[in-house]
Amino acid sequence: MSYDFTAIEKKWQEYWKTHKSFAAIEPERAGGMPKKYVLDMFPYPSGAGLHVGHVENYAATDIISRYFRMRGFNVLHPTGWDAFGLPAEQYAIKNNRHPREFTAANIANFRRQIQMLGLSYDWDREIDTTDPKYYKWTQWIFLKLFNSYFDPVDKKAKSISHLIHELEQDNFVVAPDGSVKRNPVMEGMEAISGDVQLERKWRELSVEEKNDVIDGMRLAYTDEAPVNWCPALGTVLANEEVIDGRSEVGGFPVERRPMRQWMLRITAYADRLLDDLNLLDWPESLKQMQRNWIGRSVGAEVDFEVAASKRDEGQGDEEDGEGITVFTTRPDTLFGATYMVLAPEHPLVEKITTAEQKAAVNAYREQCAGRSERDRMADAKDKSGVFTGAYAINPVNEAAIPIFIADYVLMGYGTGAIMAVPAHDQRDFEFAKKFNLSIKPVVKPIKGDLPDDAAFEEEGTAINSPVIDGLTTAKAKEQMIAALERDGVGHGTVKYKLRDWLFSRQRYWGEPFPIVLDTQERAYGIDEAELPLELPSIEDYKPTGTPEPPLSKAKDWVKYENPRIAMRGLLRETNTMPQWAGSCWYYLRFLDPNNSQAPVDPKKEAYWMPVDLYVGGVEHAVLHLLYARFWHKVLFDLGVVSQPEPFGRLVNQGLILGETEYHAFYTADGNVVTASEAKEIGEEATDAGVKLMAIHAKTSEKLIGQRVGEEDVEKTANGFRLKSNPNMRVDARAFKMSKSRGNVASPDDLVREYGADALRLYVMYMGPLEMQKPWNTRDIIGMSRFLSSVWRNLAEKPVDANAAMSDALQGQMHRTIKKVAEDTEALRFNTAIAELIKLNNEITALPAVPKSLAENLALMVAPFAPHLAEELWQRLGHGESLAHYAWPSFDPAKLVESTMELPVQVNGKLRGKIVVPVDAGEADILARAAGDSEVQPWLAGKTVRKQIYVAKKLVNFVVG
């Protein structure tokens, strides 16, 4: 008989709820209590309900939270609903329901499912990003972004009013491109170059120009630029939301088109986002993903002149002097530049192309424009391009080099133009080979020769380069940059792959921007007092399929009236914020969820932040985790928060795959195929669901995977084979859980059948938290048996307060206490559970259980299987919940045993074992080992050349 988990789990969930057992203590009442902030990536309440991946995530943080409460920490462990945005809205449209109503229903379902797992959340802090009381502060933060700029001198965000002050004082001047820089004269520098003369002071600008300068500095700004438009979703997307030319949500094609959009100036923070990764205890792979995404490269910009003589002869000389700036990370190879390439979209292409090349160039540009990013990437191997007819002058040696356009140079990175050094860049090498361009080596390997069928891309020693010959690559770069700067033809610089964050969406279900636009489309922030700006209820919320957002249909809402503003014809911004907005700062709101005066009270923020443990999936590596760090840094600069980074320690739980499947491959006419003949195994959707497909290695024939049962296969030296047909090899693999594969495990069913405690335990016992692992429902029974056994041992067997424990049992109890604590803190839940099972197995053999042992086991089980533990604790005679009862302590003296077993090896092979007192001397031990009856035959008649005794580990005799 198993214990009645359904009743017990319900009972304790109600107890915790009514007693508010897991309410975090407010800082002002916490005394000297140390804190732990344990956070989950809060869920999107999708229509699909809870996934076992959620269970893995939340069980892990719940165990940690419960453990730390028992260790005397003031634990903050909250949750909420990230309910705005595309995924939720897509579900709503698919189910033909209004997002507001649908979201409410989904939240209710998620809450029920989460509560049935017995998670120790502080429910008084539950937040919902779609609640106006919450998004009021999302809008407030947006206004902060809108009203701030990134100070180029102090490298931090400051208010726009401060910027205006600096400009009025002439501390800053305005450059010809509209950017703002420190006034060189105010720094005590003489204006030396002609450029400085072009910089203008604030008072020299018209009102319109002043507004343009300010708007150009804001951290939130509008820009008319080519963006990722997704027709199927009816909205634009951020770069981070586009994967291989398709939308992350839904996998729909994405195209580039110019549109006016809201952008956030995340690029200003590129260096800080990069550098501060070093402060974080995050998985190295995740940090690396962020580093790659930011994509910092150090190099130089070099200015090339376009050669006059090669251009249209009819033009006068004054027209010449057209310059092209290129970016390179290898300025040391400048002497090896034998041609130049512009991106097809480069604005100078039109100007420099000669009459005879015009037709070819235009044809190529058109061809490129018509191709999707996907197509362009597909044939990266095969270089294409066209000669413009123009030549550029290499500033270091006056060499005239031909200018090409080619789609392997992207307008979106660097300057959209490169100097091509085919000897030292593989792409340039391939292009040069194809177009028969000269290849000039300027770097020689430290050892060995230059390859003749590829570019030499490594570092080496400069050759054929007058100013830098003989220098190593690092030195040569330095020298070359110095020379370029001295001659005014280039300068050292840093480029990033990171682009500004496209922040507006043409969708209904998101936070409205707290912005109004005048007739010229200039943006103004509304008053803080007008927040929250509520999302109007409209019936027709569906995307229009055009760039016109659905909110524009709320005609009355769009019209903006404010008696204090004289301007007429103001209209509200009708775009909405993207799904990431609410999750960019939710971890702060948990600290102070009901504050109506500020997003968070600074005193509370100072106490709780940073997050001590953050657990979630790796899929947000360059989305939520990058965006939230960016917002946090802005809030840090503006004094809203006290820490430079929000999440100290972060762990990604590994993906839980579906159950392992076995597939045998057949040809279309039913012939047997071996695994080695089946290549490129992948999935394909068919009418009957998703099928496993493969290609025949020799015939390229399409092979169909036939699912076979585990019991039908057997293992051989090189894989599995079918029992019924030994020639047939079988492929064993686990797939991502998906509805179409029909391999989704349902938490509802599992809890009903095995109980929440057993499910939690199983998910934690499957393997290391961070590792990807296949699901196997069959295995849950083991955890179910363990819990029933604990129940029988502690609730049904006599518990004896006076029973003495044997030394061995006592030793094991204390070792278990130590190991479970260590493993839990290190998030090694699988081995912690194994120790608990071992201790319980010992108890099973006892006729009666010593009370201290029973209590300690109940306490140690509590973080993992809290319902059962509470019930047992109560039955052991305790009136209160064990949620805050002290974790058992171990006695180091009890860990030591009086004797030990030592393995005895002869020539490294195990031949016997001896049991000796722990304090036995080496000579003693060696004598005992040599005399052991198991060992003796292996030593007889041989010379012992060496005796090795590793203290408390083993004995090894080397014989000849």
Partner RNA sequence: GCGGGCGUGGCGGAAUAGGUAGACGCGCGGGUCUCAAAAACCCGUUCCCACAAGGAUUGUCGGUUCGAUUCCGACCGCCCGCACCA
Choose the stretch contacting RNA; rule: CB under 7 A; options: 60-68, 281-289, 464-472, 554-562.
Answer: 281-289
- By CB under 7 A, which span of 391-399, 625-633, 809-817, 823-831 interacts with RNA? 823-831
Q: 204: burial class by Cβ within 10 Å (0-12, 13-18, 19+)?
A: exposed
Do residues 309 and 423 touch, judged by C-beta distance below 8 A?
Answer: no
Q: Please list every residue from 893 through 922 that binds RNA, using CB under 7 A.
A: 901, 903, 905, 907-910, 913
Check binding of 222 to RNA (CB under 7 A).
no
Q: Which of 495, 505, 589, 632 binds RNA (CB under 7 A)?
A: 495
The residue within the footprint of RNA, chosen from 774, 811, 866, 888 (CB under 7 A), is 774
* Cα dihedral value 666, 671, 673, 677, nearest 10: -100
**Region of 161-169, 215-223, 352-360, 618-626 interacting with RNA (CB under 7 A):** 618-626
Question: Cβ of 481: how many Cβ atoms within 10 Å?
Answer: 21
- Judged by CB under 7 A, the stretch of 67-75, 500-508, 690-698, 832-840 that binds RNA is 832-840
Report the residue from 292, 671, 806, 899 that binds RNA according to the rule CB under 7 A.
Answer: 292
Provide, rounded to whole angstroms, the least separation between the CB of residue 299 and RNA.
5
Binds RNA by CB under 7 A, chosen from 111, 831, 846, 930: 831
Question: Positive or negative CA dihedral for 178, 180, 184, 188?
Answer: positive
Which of 369, 781, 808, 918 touches RNA by CB under 7 A? 781
Reported in sequence order, the residue ranges of 734-861 that DSSP labels E, i.e. its strands, are 773-774, 799-800, 849-850
The residue from 216, 253, 617, 767 that contacts RNA (CB under 7 A) is 767
Nearer to RNA, 260 or 376 (CB): 376
Number of residues this chain uses to bind RNA (CB under 7 A): 87
Q: Spell out, one character per residue from 358 to 397, where the chain touches RNA: x when CB under 7 A holds, - when not.
A: ------------------xx-xx--xx-------------
Sign of CA dihedral 688, 690, 692, 696: positive
Burial class (CB in 10 A: 0-12, 13-18, 19+), 953: exposed
Binding of residue 416 to RNA (CB under 7 A): yes
Q: Which of 410, 450, 795, 930 binds RNA (CB under 7 A)?
A: 410
**289 scored as a contact of RNA (CB under 7 A):** yes
Cβ-count burial of 744 within 10 angstroms (0-12 exposed, 13-18 middle, 19+ buried)? middle
Cis-peptide into 610, omega within 30 deg: yes
Contacts of 543 (CB under 8 A, 6+ apart): 233, 234, 235, 506, 507, 508, 550
Among 196, 463, 618, 697, binds RNA (CB under 7 A): 618
| Residue 767 C-beta: closest distance to RNA, Å | 3
Task: Tell me whether residue 117 or residue 409 sits nearer to RNA (CB atom).
Answer: 409
284 touches RNA by CB under 7 A: yes
User: Pattern 294-323, binding to RNA, x per CB under 7 A?
Assistant: -x-x-x------------------------
The smaller minimum CB distance to RNA, of residues 643 and 789, is found at: 789
Burial 891-925 (b: 16+ CB within 10 A, else e): eeebeeeeebebebbbeeeebbebebeeeeeeeeb
| Among 276, 352, 348, CA closest to 308 | 352
User: Is-cis flag, bond preceding 441, omega within 30?
Assistant: no
Cα gap 532→431, rounded to integer Å: 56
Q: What torsion do the CA atoms of 167, 173, 176, 181 make, to the nearest 10 degrees?
A: -100
User: Mask 98-137, x = binds RNA (CB under 7 A)?
Assistant: ----------------------------------------
Asked if 220 contacts 268 with a C-beta cutoff of 8 angstroms, the reply is no
Strand partners, 614: 39, 650
Site for RNA in 833-852 (CB under 7 A): 833-834, 837-838, 841, 844-845
Between residue 328 and residue 347, which ones bind RNA under the rule CB under 7 A?
328-330, 343
* Site membership for RNA, residue 698 (CB under 7 A): no
Q: Determine the Cα–Cα distance for residues 122 and 960; give it in Å rounded to an integer.
A: 69
Strand segments, DSSP code E, in 832-873 are 849-850
Site membership for RNA, residue 413 (CB under 7 A): yes
Site string for RNA, 675-694 (x = CB under 7 A): --------------------
Task: Spell out where 371-440 has E strands.
Answer: 386-393, 400-405, 417-420
Distance of closest approach, residue 721 Cβ to RNA, in angstroms: 12
- Letters for 782-811 (x = contact with RNA by CB under 7 A, - = none) are xx-xx-xx--x-------------------
Contact region with RNA (CB under 7 A), list: 130-138, 196-204, 274-282, 763-771: 763-771
